[in-house]
Structure 1
Amino acid sequence: MLESYSRSWTEINYSAIAHNVKEIQKLVGKTKIMGIVKANAYGHGDVECARVLADCGIDFFGVSSVDEALRLRQGGIRESILILGYTPPEHFHYLVEKQITQSLVSLEYAKKLSAYAQSVQNCIHCHCKVDTGMNRTGIIYQDQEKNMEAIFEEYRLPGLKVEGIFSHFPVSDDLGSESKAFTQHQIELFQEVCNRLKSEGLDPGLRHIQNSYGILNYQDLGMDYCRPGLLYMGVTSDDEIPIVSQPDFIPILSWYANISLVKWIHKGQTVSYGRHFTAIKDTKVATISVGYADGLHRIVSNQGLEVLVHGKRCPIIGNICMDQCMVDVTNVADVQEGDIVVIVGQQGDQKVTIDEISRKSHSINNETLCAISSRVPRLRKRD
């Protein structure tokens, strides 16, 4: 029996991460896993997820920024950490002090990092970012422009120890022929870069290119690491996107809220801001203590999104407010204040998924999970 913890809260089944990690390992063979825990582990709790992943043997973590890396260090994470994004020069000292690996977003950036490392007479650990088609960060290496000399130069910069090289897939989730050809060519370009480094007498270091869909659809590429994010949390970006593999993932997050009020409204009465819902009959309405400030997007208002009350699917009606929303519970008996509503998760034999919210908001699960507010507690699910 669930207990009420707050007005709205999530429960994280951290013990299921080990199962999901094993499912990933089945797909990638001997390739090791770099656990991506950026954005508070996509809303699941970065330090807690990292601790569990470390217990599973994960020895490398990926984050977006230096502050995220510092959170892991402060949380006791001693494994290697790669900052996938940009670190401002005024924060370069943390890379040395906390032994954090920095990605090289450009040659010009690498030169700044090199100058700093020399000025403090120290060495900064780095991974070279190669842009094979994402056109976001990294040294461009594509058919139109192959900046191999710039890559060579990065590896030779004094004060930098370039221990790895990586790239990123923009369309590994698309199994259409054009996207598959594009992704396959990215793999070829990346391998070409690594081979040219070796021919120049330079060790490419740790090679990694697969994101979550790269793991699901391209599986064992023989790289040193892969970079799953949502996968070890048991979900993909979109439940309806077809994938090549068939892993048995367990979603680790459930989301709940309390009912604060139950009342009847009459036929013809309206609900919430804008009066966009009008009752076509006498309707029993439950007000629940979750809103868009908690991460339940206002855009899903009046879209037929359902939650579970006493194990039955009930639609949200009217506009979602900042801290509350209303649900039609006419067909549910004995609903009362304090009852627990399932926004994401299972109750009885019914289940509602994060993907349902994402689909109604025309988004992906990555964004929907990240949007769950910090005011919503992340609680460890009790066994």
Structure 2
Amino acid sequence: MLESYSRAWCEIDLDAIAHNVEEIQKLVGHTKIMGIVKANAYGHGALACAQALTRCGIEIFGVSSIDEAIELREGGIEADILILGYTPPRHFDKLAEYGLIQSLVSCAYAKKLEQYGEANDVVFRAHAKIDTGMNRTGIVYQPDHKHFDELKDVYRLDHVRVEGIFSHFPVSDDLGEDALSFTKRQIALFDEAVERLRAEGIDPGARHIQNSYGILNYHDLGYDYCRPGLLYMGVTSDDAIEINSAPDFIPILSVWANVSVVKWLKPGETVSYGRHFKAEKPTKIATISIGYADGLPRLVSNQGVQVLVHGVPCPLVGNVCMDQCMVDVTAVENVQEGDVVCLVGEQNGHKMTIDRLSRLAHTINNETLSQIAARMPRLKKREQ
């Protein structure tokens, strides 16, 4: 077990990223990987994950914002960085200063970049986003309204150099008939837009559309890049969702905390805010030094979630507090202050998954992981 000054921490198995990247590459063949490290790499630590991905040969990263991109640059990442989201015009200067690639969220936005570039003698690097059905950002290219003239316009700007084109899947995780039809229509629209650009003598640049489930379920599209996020971290959004492949991923994250107090409750005594747990018999309770401010969802309170104490599954009881939670350890001998508890990961041959927490919190692993607090140290796992 690693040492930490904190009373709760994460361990990140950065070495397992290489294995997961290999599993992704098996699915997508010659398509290159764009490492998505937005939201602090979904809670895993953006810079450390980017460094590990760099060692795997990844040459381009995707982030959500200018802040995230600058963090990588200042951390020593020299590879291409694509900002997938919106950068306010007041920060256009940073795009050039840090050598970043900006996604064009609309034609009007691209023209703002052009105006700034012309006024300041700057040429911006960019990827054109087209909206094939997500209806979030991008130049609209859908069956009844194909704004192809706008797409051509952004490629012909003088101070915005468009080096790629991409779109996004909203239901690539769904293998139902309607979702399959919708996603295949998106692929057809994307391909059509690319071919129309080529017919106009325009090089569309690097093409990418596959998110994590796009990789798992539509892995043979043959585009230039794919955009895995959770996959290189060894997990999917929901373990229960059927997928059209069978990769062998290794989860890279585990979560640990210390026991701070052990006490016995008499029958009738209660635990935590709201007094939702009442002891029906003499019950040994261990207070664990982790709470919802660390990223343990309060919604899992009184839902039957278990943690590992001395490798024994023990139920969490009462409401999760901001910095602490309580566990029934009656079945475990010799529990004492300072003992290490496993909330996610493996201890003495037993496993607890992040997916279990997400299901009981009625959400997906993307959210549960990305809400792990900054105050939780991310420690590099060592061989035990």
Please give the range of the TM-score, normalised by the shorter of the 2 chains.
Answer: over 0.9
Kindly indicate whether the alpha-carbon contact (under 8 Å) linking 1:24 and 1:231 is maintained by their aligned counterparts in 2: yes
Kindly indicate whether the alpha-carbon contact (under 8 Å) linking 1:291 and 1:321 is maintained by their aligned counterparts in 2: yes
- Please give the residue correspondences for 1:133-282 in structure 2 after superposition, counting only pairs within 5 Å: 133-282=133-282
Q: Which residue of 1 aligns with 2:89?
A: 89
Q: Which residue of 2 aligns with 1:370?
A: 370
Kindly indicate whether the alpha-carbon contact (under 8 Å) linking 1:4 and 1:340 is maintained by their aligned counterparts in 2: no
Give SS of 2:34's match. Answer: strand
Q: Which residue of 2 aligns with 1:289?
A: 289
Residues 302-345 of structure 1 show CA distances to partners (whole Å, capped at 9, x for unaligned) of 00010000111001000010100000000011111100000000
1:108 and 1:358 mapped to 2: Cα distance?
A: 39
Is 1:132 the counterpart of 2:127? The answer is: no
- Residue identity matched to 1:99: G
- Residue identity matched to 1:248: D
Structure 1 residue 244: Cα displacement? 0.7
- Residue identity matched to 1:24: I
- Residue identity matched to 1:293: A
Q: Which residue of 1 aligns with 2:64?
A: 64
Is 1:325 the counterpart of 2:288? The answer is: no
Kindly indicate whether the alpha-carbon contact (under 8 Å) linking 2:2 and 2:381 is maintained by their aligned counterparts in 1: no
Structure 1 residue 6: Cα displacement? 2.0
Q: Which residue of 2 aligns with 1:313?
A: 313
Give SS of 1:11's match. Answer: strand
- Please give the residue correspondences for 1:14-29 in structure 2 after superposition, counting only pairs within 5 Å: 14-29=14-29
Residues 108-135 of structure 1 show CA distances to partners (whole Å, capped at 9, x for unaligned) of 0000000111111121000000000000
1:293 and 1:122 mapped to 2: Cα distance?
A: 43
In structure 2, runs of 5+ residues without a counterpart are: none
Q: Which residue of 1 aligns with 2:50?
A: 50
Residues 246-292 of structure 1 show CA distances to partners (whole Å, capped at 9, x for unaligned) of 00000000000000001100111110000001111110000000001
1:15 and 1:208 mapped to 2: Cα distance?
A: 27
Give SS of 1:86's match. Answer: coil
Structure 1 residue 4: Cα displacement? 5.6
Q: TM-score, normalised by structure 1?
A: 0.99
Kindly indicate whether the alpha-carbon contact (under 8 Å) linking 1:4 and 1:258 is maintained by their aligned counterparts in 2: no
Kindly indicate whether the alpha-carbon contact (under 8 Å) linking 2:2 and 2:379 is maintained by their aligned counterparts in 1: no
Give SS of 2:161's match. Answer: strand
- Please give the residue correspondences for 1:83-122 in structure 2 after superposition, counting only pairs within 5 Å: 83-122=83-122
2:111 and 2:3 mapped to 1: Cα distance?
A: 55
Structure 1 residue 382: Cα displacement? 1.2
Give SS of 1:87's match. Answer: coil
Q: Which residue of 1 aligns with 2:357?
A: 357
In structure 1, runs of 5+ residues without a counterpart are: none
Give SS of 1:223's match. Answer: coil
- Residue identity matched to 1:91: H
Identity %: 66
Residues 11-31 of structure 1 show CA distances to partners (whole Å, capped at 9, x for unaligned) of 000000000000000000000
1:58 and 1:5 mapped to 2: Cα distance?
A: 33
Residues 71-120 of structure 1 show CA distances to partners (whole Å, capped at 9, x for unaligned) of 00000000000000000011001111111000000000000000111111
- CA 1:5–1:342: 2 relative to 1, 3 Å: farther
Q: How big is the alpha-carbon RMSD for the aligned residues of Structure 1 and Structure 2?
A: 0.8
2:11 and 2:40 mapped to 1: Cα distance?
A: 15
Kindly indicate whether the alpha-carbon contact (under 8 Å) linking 2:130 and 2:141 is maintained by their aligned counterparts in 1: yes
Residues 174-228 of structure 1 show CA distances to partners (whole Å, capped at 9, x for unaligned) of 0001101100110000000000000000000000000000000000201000000
2:19 and 2:122 mapped to 1: Cα distance?
A: 40
Q: TM-score, normalised by structure 2?
A: 0.99
